[in-house]
Amino acid sequence: MLFEGQALHLAQTLQALAAGQTGGVREGLLDQAIYFENNQHRTNHLELREDGWLTGSSMVESGAKQFKHRLTGPGMRWSRSGAERLLPVRAAVMSRTFDDVRRAIYKSPNN
C-alpha cells in the first residue's frame, strides 16, 4: 500500500485489524496505524518516486557498508576525530572525485 501511495488506507486497514485483537497486539496495530496516519506526507512512496526520490534503503545500507569496511578492517583503530576526517576522503575515493578534490584542496605548483 505504501508503494502505491496509500498510507491512509494502510492506517485504516491496521485500525480494522486492531478491532479484532486484544492486549499488546491491538496496541501495536493501533500505534502503527497512528504512525502512518500522522506521517502520510513522509510515506507517500508513489509521489516520492514520481519526484525522483529513492524510497528503498538498500543504496544507503550499501554505502554504509563501504564506509564501515574501510574503517573497521583488521587492526584498525580510529579516534572519532580521525574517522570524521577520513569520511570525506573515503567519499571522494568512492565517487571517483578524489583527484579533483585533492587538486582543489592542495593547489600544487605546476612542475
Q: Does 16 lie in the same domain as 41?
A: yes
- The DSSP secondary-structure symbol of 109 reads P
Residue 33 lies in a domain: yes
Residue 35 lies in a domain: yes
Per-residue model confidence as pLDDT tens for the chain (111 residues): 888 888 899 999 999 999 989 999 999 999 999 999 999 888 888 888 889 888 878 888 888 888 888 888 898 888 999 988 888 888 898 889 988 888 877 776 665
Residue 95 lies in a domain: yes
Range of the domain at 42: 7-50
The rounded distance, in Å, linking the Cα atoms of 97 and 79 is 25
What's the residue count for the chain?
Answer: 111
Q: Does 11 lie in the same domain as 44?
A: yes
The total number of structural domains that make up the chain: 2
Cβ neighbours of residue 12 closer than 8 Å, sequence gap 6 or more = 33
Residue 2 lies in a domain: no
Q: Does 64 lie in the same domain as 34?
A: no
